[in-house]
Amino acid sequence: MSLIIHHWDTDGITSTALLVKALGLEKFKNLSPPIGEFRFDERIRRAIEKEGEIYVLDLNLPHEVEGISKSIVFIDHHIQPRIKNPKVKQINPALGGEEAPSASFVVSEYFNVWNAWSALGVIGDIGERAFEIPKVGELLKIEGLTRKDALRIVELIDSNYIAMDREGVEKAVGVVLENSVKGLLEYEPWIRKAESIRKAIEDALSKVEVRKGIAFIDFESPFNIISKVARKAVWELGYEGAVVVNRNFHGKAQVYFRVSPKKAEEINMGEIISQLKEKSFNAGGKREVLGCICEKNRIEEVLNIINAHLR
Ligand SMILES: [Mn+2]
């Protein structure tokens, strides 16, 4: 049986649906890595051993693909090295210096199968900027979808991974294949999931404490919403910065720090990240954001490092 290993987000899921349609696959198995972990686990390795043709979609895992001794078709749009393993057929416009906005567009281009799924993959990956691409608008129009519909469908599909529901992610491919695109708007299990995520985000934001223009937000949730909470606090509610803590995320703690572009001029995020790394924290980020996952009993240590830079 064909095995498709795909990213857990809308782009990964729609790319898989497009591939199944393009190849006319009657039977296939689709798996996603453990959510949030960019690696093949035992479950995926066993399936690779067992199954026939293997496809890897929208997963920037060149090192994993490189090490597999079976024929693989690897379709992606992330910037990555050329695979040396001769058994791998790597289809990625980025190798030739070209950009693709999503893996769904790469699959559609390669097999010449275009529909609203192709557009949804782009919207999932780059949000509203997707509407600047004429092809996205055309594909939605053919299906009679408004921009709002399309954004909502992406929210519904992504509710699976935000809820950390790996099984839901894998089942989503079948749901996409078996329903009309418009019909996805009415798919109850996703509507309920998206609703509880929305509630969790609102709940978190209702517990904001403000000190010197910075929002401090503390909550507990099994949902991976911390970056959304911080984004809302800074981009929508207008705080100069947000220090967000999820005190219990599947047994660990998440700390997230985002500042506004203006505040980024006075905060040295790179320095905070290296101080955290020096203390062996798993931290990363860019100019305006920092994310850290740590043991619950080390939260205060992380906050102290961040706070020292806020004074
Ligand atoms: Mn993608």
* Helix, coil or strand: residue 54: strand
Give the containing element (helix H, strand E) for 259: strand 252-259
Contact 40, 33 (CB under 8 A): yes
Q: Helices then strands (H, E): number in the chain?
A: 12, 11
Contact 157, 13 (CB under 8 A): yes
What per-residue confidence (pLDDT) applies to 160? 98
- Kindly give the distance from the C-alpha atom of residue 106 to the centroid of ligand 1, in angstroms, as a whole number: 10
- Checking if the pLDDT of 52 tops 90, the result is no
- Kindly give the distance from the C-alpha atom of residue 4 to the centroid of ligand 1, in angstroms, as a whole number: 15
C-alpha pair distances (Å), 249 with each of 72, 261, 281: 35, 28, 16
- Kindly give the distance from the C-alpha atom of residue 101 to the centroid of ligand 1, in angstroms, as a whole number: 7
Phi first, then psi: give them for residue 100, nearest 5 degrees.
-125, 135
- Checking if the pLDDT of 43 tops 90, the result is yes
CATH no. of 2-186: 3.90.1640.30
- Kindly give the distance from the C-alpha atom of residue 11 to the centroid of ligand 1, in angstroms, as a whole number: 5
Burial of 173 (0-12, 13-18, 19+ CB in 10 A): buried
pLDDT digits 0-9 by tens, 172-193: 999 999 999 999 999 999 999 9
Segment 286-308 mean pLDDT? 96
- Kindly give the distance from the C-alpha atom of residue 122 to the centroid of ligand 1, in angstroms, as a whole number: 7
What per-residue confidence (pLDDT) applies to 202? 97
- Checking if the pLDDT of 166 tops 90, the result is yes
Please give the Cα distance from 173 to 20 (Å, whole number): 10
- Checking if the pLDDT of 311 tops 90, the result is no
pLDDT digits 0-9 by tens, 94-116: 999 999 999 999 999 999 999 99
Looking only at the bridges linking them, the beta strands covering 2-6 and 28-31 are: parallel
Contact 204, 249 (CB under 8 A): no
- Kindly give the distance from the C-alpha atom of residue 157 to the centroid of ligand 1, in angstroms, as a whole number: 14
Spatial CB neighbours of 206, under 8 Å, sequence gap ≥ 6: none
What per-residue confidence (pLDDT) applies to 32? 98
- Kindly give the distance from the C-alpha atom of residue 10 to the centroid of ligand 1, in angstroms, as a whole number: 8
* CATH code 3.90.1640.30 region(s) in the chain: 2-186
Segment 122-137 mean pLDDT? 97
Spatial CB neighbours of 271, under 8 Å, sequence gap ≥ 6: 309
Q: DSSP string of 258-304?
A: EE-TTGGGT--HHHHHHHHHHTT-EEEE-SSEEEEEE-GGGHHHHHH
First-to-final CA distance of the chain: 59
- Kindly give the distance from the C-alpha atom of residue 124 to the centroid of ligand 1, in angstroms, as a whole number: 8
- Kindly give the distance from the C-alpha atom of residue 196 to the centroid of ligand 1, in angstroms, as a whole number: 25
What per-residue confidence (pLDDT) applies to 133? 98
* CATH code 3.10.310.30 region(s) in the chain: 199-310
Would you state the CATH architecture of domain 199-310?
Answer: Roll (3.10)
Mean pLDDT, the chain, as a whole number? Answer: 96
Which tokens go with 297?
Answer: 């009993």
- Checking if the pLDDT of 17 tops 90, the result is yes
What per-residue confidence (pLDDT) applies to 91? 98
What per-residue confidence (pLDDT) applies to 193? 98
What per-residue confidence (pLDDT) applies to 266? 93
